[in-house]
Amino acid sequence: MVVGSGGREHALVETLAASTLEPEMHAAPGNPAISRIARTVDIPADDLVALRDYAKENEIDLTVVGPESPLIGGITEAFWEADLKVFGPSRAAARIEGSKVFAKELMRHAGVPTARYEAFDTEAAALAYLRAHRDYPAVVKADGAAAGKGVTVAHSRDEAEEAVRASFGGRFGAAGERIVIEECLEGREASIFVVTDGQDILPFLPAQDYKRAYDADEGPNTGGMGSYSPLMWMEPATYAAILEEIIRPTIRQMALIGAPYTGLLYAGVMVTETGPKALEFNCRFGDPETQVILPRLGSDLLELMLAANNEDLAGREVVWSADKAVCVVLASEGYPESSSTGDEITGLENIPAGVYIYHAATEERDGRFYTAGGRVLNVVGTGPTVIEARARAYAAVEQIYFEGMHYRTDIALEAIELEDF
């Protein structure tokens, strides 16, 4: 069973359903596209008791949790108590995403390179710090999980103060009741995924996402407007350094504090002139990076997840397709501040080979699809080169239409210039 309803979950369901183990797929709550390949049940992702009871009644062998909130809320422990298996960290380990302060303190104790920071519990203390602060840009982060929207890169003290007041003023709810202010790192950002059983790790290939709403990284932060994989600019030695200096020490430290980390660990990393530094950790698959990683996965994802649950990752390797993948997110009008819903989506028929359409927020009525949220569809093109993968993605985008449809036109553009033909 896959928990969640977005494009990431659609990609997970498709990939797991293709396993040679021939699983019977369930999804809660799923979405209209997922319902065509899995049995969906109308249980919200945060209703841990109902999810546990459904899994018990239907003899679910493994539950894979897509979004962070159920993990932070303790779904893993709830399932463990019912003798059910979950791919995902415990509530104690999920604090690595649930609290920026916890993550920064963990990194400090583990010796993980990261940005300098200060944490604040009150607006007055944060504003006083900013009045004495001279280095801009600075980054203001809500402590809790805020769906990718709790981070502000402030280019002046006025912008930083505005972000502080917004956080303590309730813009992000309980997630913003504590904040972190840290130095702004310069370099190239990468998304790193590893499957871990709490001791051994199985690295996936890195990806890059685009958080800003508009081209040229303009506009507000979003949950992600696109992604691509692999990263031609990342040297193998750099990736090895990320694993040895950031990932492994973090997993060792989690075990040392009595919260061993199992499942999928996501690290946002900035590769600076002085080496890679950790920006953040997530306790689950990234969105939309998952949508460009899974189509390239040659190994059986379900077998890898079961191996992680059985502490049997040692000596395993992951097989990858040589293809490249580019994801373009189609968002509704007003996203991320607001979103239009109920607009009919056309052009989803006759999608060409090499293109995947993952539904992120849609509803179906009388055989037709309609928008149901901010990020509506993920259009993924694959091919032997970035140029071809990108061309396929954008050709499919041109075929699709709904009122107010918004997307970035520069996804993976810089990757073309780095490609080695």
Domains of the chain from N-terminus onward: 2-88 (3.40.50.20), 116-183 (3.30.1490.20), 188-309 (3.30.470.20), 324-418 (3.90.600.10)
Residues 6+ apart with CB under 8 A from 303: 19, 20, 21
User: β-strands 26-29, 39-40: how paired?
Assistant: parallel
Q: How wide is the angle at C-alpha 144 spanned by C-alphas 115 and 70, nearest 5°?
A: 125
Rounded distance, CA 66 to CA 284, Å? Answer: 6
Q: pLDDT of the chain along its 421 residues, tens only?
A: 999 999 999 999 999 999 999 999 999 999 999 999 999 999 999 999 999 999 999 999 999 999 999 999 999 999 999 999 999 999 999 999 999 999 999 999 999 999 999 999 999 999 999 998 888 999 999 999 877 678 889 999 999 999 999 999 998 998 899 999 999 999 999 999 999 999 999 999 999 999 999 999 999 889 899 999 999 999 999 999 999 999 999 999 999 999 999 999 999 999 999 999 999 999 999 999 999 999 999 999 999 999 999 999 998 999 999 999 999 999 999 999 888 999 999 999 999 999 999 999 999 999 999 999 999 999 999 999 999 999 999 999 999 999 999 999 999 999 998 876 5
- The DSSP-derived string for 339-376 is -----EEB--SSPPTTEEEEESSEEEETTEEEE-SSEE
Q: How many angstroms separate the CA atoms of 304 and 251, rounded?
A: 18
Q: Which residue has the tokens 């380990």?
A: 93
